[in-house]
Structure 1
């Protein structure tokens, strides 16, 4: 099982030794043991963060770092739960192999969240550096290493089955780790993009029936976008799309779509008419980069159309995120995403951007996500005199991660 891993094989054997003899011929048992090991390390990190939280209330930098790390570690647990649920629901190893794109996405997301937790603590601050070093040595380094080991096992499942002498009929599956680079259909959509969502995007806006309307002049249900998001039904059995129409206007607010608000469809009157803007930044407001975003989406199946998301901090603000997205199977169509440094944070999970306009200076598309950017315009803005333009900063650290930011049929403009 450990032969093909690029990580420490001794660590791999240590993790997999937790499988008892009665399950030693079941490849699923080894995968489950590895995922449980990752979960234990993430839980350890959360306990450490909670302890530090009690002693760091007077240091705003440490408090922000702890809050951000706590958020992403909780997201990592959610990804691991999805993985474990899929493993349990697939009764044979052939089914597990078929679902490997999902499994690999969730493991890649865990690595992304681990990176985000490490990166949010700044070395210049002695207190933050000490907490980061403790987290890495006692938890986060193991999270990354065992996640990589598990990715290698899932990726090499067919060979492992053959080596174990388990006789099952394996269905063919793409060997490429970069799932979204390969698996698009003849219309250019990722294979996960549903037919109902394609029809929704193709419809004229006059045929949409919104659940709620946002209007600055009071002609809708709400005056702010966040209030409309907060109106998402609390019932667990809500079905279908929750449609939010945002009328023409400049909405000066920071918005978050929480993880439980699945299947939101938000649309405006066009990216030059419906504008969400704020100006939080790393330098001007002394905020961690992850916490500067004008618009944050944490929910799966989020869909946005005909809107602009911008961070107006300017080049002098340095890191200032316009859009941070971690929603799995999320998509943005005919949207403008404008900022300067760190404009679009594709933090984790499967994302799709079509007919969009993305503007920035340094690392203005960054993160560790399998994000496809298609038929879109990239606008390179003038950086500060001490800076130079960088379009993409991809956080992929392992060959079998499903992450990367492929561009398809777009163009670049200064």
Structure 2
């Protein structure tokens, strides 16, 4: 299948190369944009002072020096200075004040993107589905930014009380929601030049907001001590002059310590699973009419939905049967739980796909869509039956924070599991597919899972387990697999020379996939990882790494040069579920087992 990114659109997405901007050059550019002679004199004095030359020390100059130090932590210092410059006469120098200014500017930027999309000329034509996605995702982005601003305002100047992990999660999600809008416009051939111009600026504002929160969390209130942080991918070999482009994901051708687990060592896996059996349910869904509802969506529609993070757990027990419906757990359905009668018994299914369903997008195609925070899924199978010729066809999309799944099966072909955004945890379950079948940009941890690649139906097609979507170095996102098995169906293994299988490929510039002592089967290609459509896109900026992988597919002698073998356990520990997703703060409340450390 050819990429959807045609020649007319591709040049619009190139962007400018990311590079460090020296102080003198960006002061000169700022001077050009300042209208009054007084401002020019002040800014020139600041430039001279910053270069070690005598300067006039004024309150305004001191403010500009503070802005310079603050903007130095961002990837877009010129945009940062333009954001802060109107406030230099107000002598705003407290880091929490500047952070609020930058976050507010990012929120306004997302609103500008939304305005540009609403002015889209194709809203009544082919572009409408993409615009529909944008309406939802951009509003979600704004909600995350506004919630972050409200949090900062309530806590005031006591930086020590700031919940930085939550703030970074929210800002990473805000950025991803904005990216999802642009992806949908590309997917539906609806990206216009005026939207591109707006989206580039908004991306810089979002990146700067995330950089400010990261710096504040590391360096505290002394702005002059702020330094540029490399973010979560500090271990990767970053390319200085990197130009981001937009990618459309298409077919690819040519034993742990017992004391670290939540459950006691004497409890068998069957006993662990049975803990959910007697959990009281609020409502029962049954195809045979023995429950209150025959449809899962009907049960959700009539359930209480407060939207509160502290809402009482609402349990929907789904009896055995095949439920052929698109199920959506909305954002205000917080702390919902699905309990099935077992994998292969309780089956949620659908067949929406980009290739077969008119006007469909990847984002909207999932059989199960989870947007309500605190969701738990247990003992269910979720599948998309569109088949390989449906191209992008999602079984489940998760756009909810602190969502956890246990003893489930997710089955599809391309794009089976869309780990879209926020913190997610998967334990003792199976994911099946072909191309990029675990993808997205959440902070996601898999433990004790079985990831199974299928034999592709098209000769020459290649499998990739993952396509992670990290777009900014500061985002607290990525895929972590601990003690998982990367397996294949018997049909695939029997034809491994014809249908090659790789661990992952860089969908976005900072794709992050880390294996922690995983079992790799023999069908996995010795190179391990696959470039993006034979290009060098993201090879120097992504982070594809393994720590103590084993099994017949774990021979690293022929691994690609741009992947990494982690030898330092402290580096591997960063990607363990607890530090990576703060799992110890929320997974125990789900009663799902959690391994808290590396073996």
Q: 1:205 to 1:152 in 2, by over 3 A?
A: closer
Aligned position for 2:200: 141
Seen in structure 2, the aligned counterparts of structure 1 residues 124 and 297 have a Cα distance that, compared at 3 Å, is: closer
Name which of 305, 309, 315 aligns with 2:378: 305
For residues 101 and 19 of structure 1, do their structure 2 counterparts lie closer, same or farther at Cα, with a shift above 3 Å needed?
farther
1:372 to 431, 435, 445: 445
Question: Residue 282 of structure 1 aligns with which residue?
Answer: 354
Distance 1:119 1:45 in 2: 13
Contact 1:18 1:33 in 2 (8 A): no
Partner of 1:101: 165
3-state SS, counterpart of residue 209 of structure 2: helix
Q: Mean alpha-carbon deviation: is it higher for 17-26 or for 294-303?
A: 17-26
Pair 390,188 (structure 1): closer, same or farther in 2 beyond 3 Å: farther
Q: Secondary structure at the match of 2:191?
A: helix
Asked if the contact 1:309/1:338 (under 8 Å) is kept, the reply is: yes
Q: Secondary structure at the match of 1:210?
A: coil
Partners of 2:148 and 2:337 lie apart in 1 by 26
Partner of 1:406: 480
1:226 CA displacement: 0.5
Distance 1:349 1:114 in 2: 14
Q: 1:154 maps to what in 2?
A: 213
- Contact map agreement 1:111 1:143 (CA 8 A) in 2: no
Further displaced range: 152-161 or 234-243: 234-243
Q: Is the 8 A contact 2:346 2:380 kept in 1?
A: yes
> How do 1:341-380 residues align onto structure 2 when only pairs under 5 Å count?
341-380=414-453
Q: 1:113 is matched with which residue?
A: 177
CA change 1:42–1:57 in 2 (3 A) is: closer
Match of 2:280 in 1: 209
Where structure 2 has 5 or more consecutive residues not aligned to the other structure, the ranges are: 1-69, 234-257, 263-271, 489-599
State the match for 2:191 in structure 1.
129
- On the 8 A contact 1:25/1:164 being kept in 2, the answer is no
The answer as to 2:329 corresponding to 1:329 is no
Q: CA deviation at 1:152?
A: 1.7
Helix, strand or coil: the match of 1:387? coil
Rounded Cα–Cα distance in structure 2 between residues aligned with 1:386 and 1:39: 45
SS at match of 2:294: coil
How does 1:191-340 map onto structure 2 within 5 Å? 204-234=275-305, 239-286=311-358, 287-340=360-413
Q: Displacement of 1:271 after TM fit?
A: 1.2
Give the match for residue 117 of structure 2: 49
- C-alpha distance in structure 1 between counterparts of 2:154 and 2:354, whole Å: 44
Residue equivalent to 2:245 = none
**SS at structure 2 position matched to 1:19:** helix
TM-score by length of 2: 0.60
Partners of 1:411 and 1:23 lie apart in 2 by: 56
Per-residue CA deviation, residues 39-83 of structure 1 (Å, 9 max, x unaligned), is: 11111222233333xx54541x31101001111101101111221
Could you say what secondary structure the match of 1:227 adopts?
helix
Report the counterpart of residue 387 of structure 1 in structure 2. 461
**Alignment partner of 1:3 is 2:72:** yes
Give SS of 1:331's match: strand
Shift in Å, 1:274? 0.4
Q: Over residues 240-279 of structure 1, what are the superposed CA-to-partner deviations in whole Å (9 max), with x where a residue is unaligned?
A: 1011000000111111011001010111011111000011
Structure 2 residue 86 is matched with structure 1 residue 86 = no
TM-score by length of 1: 0.86
**In 1: Cα distance, 2:194 partner to 2:90 partner:** 37
1:203, distance to aligned residue in structure 2 (A): 5.7
Contact 1:155–1:400 (CA under 8 A) maintained in structure 2: yes
Alpha-carbon deviation of 1:160? 5.9
Flag the 1:135–1:57 CA change in 2: closer, same or farther, 3 A.
closer
1:205 partner SS: coil
Q: Which moved more, 1:215-224 or 1:277-286?
A: 277-286
Structure 2 SS opposite 1:406: strand
Deviates more, 1:145-154 or 1:315-324: 145-154
- Higher Cα Rg: structure 1 or 2? 2
Unaligned runs of 5+ in 1: 167-174, 179-184, 190-200
Larger RCO (alpha carbons 8 Å, 6+ apart) = 1
Q: CA deviation at 1:122?
A: 3.0
Q: Distance in 2 between matches of 1:50 and 1:118?
A: 13
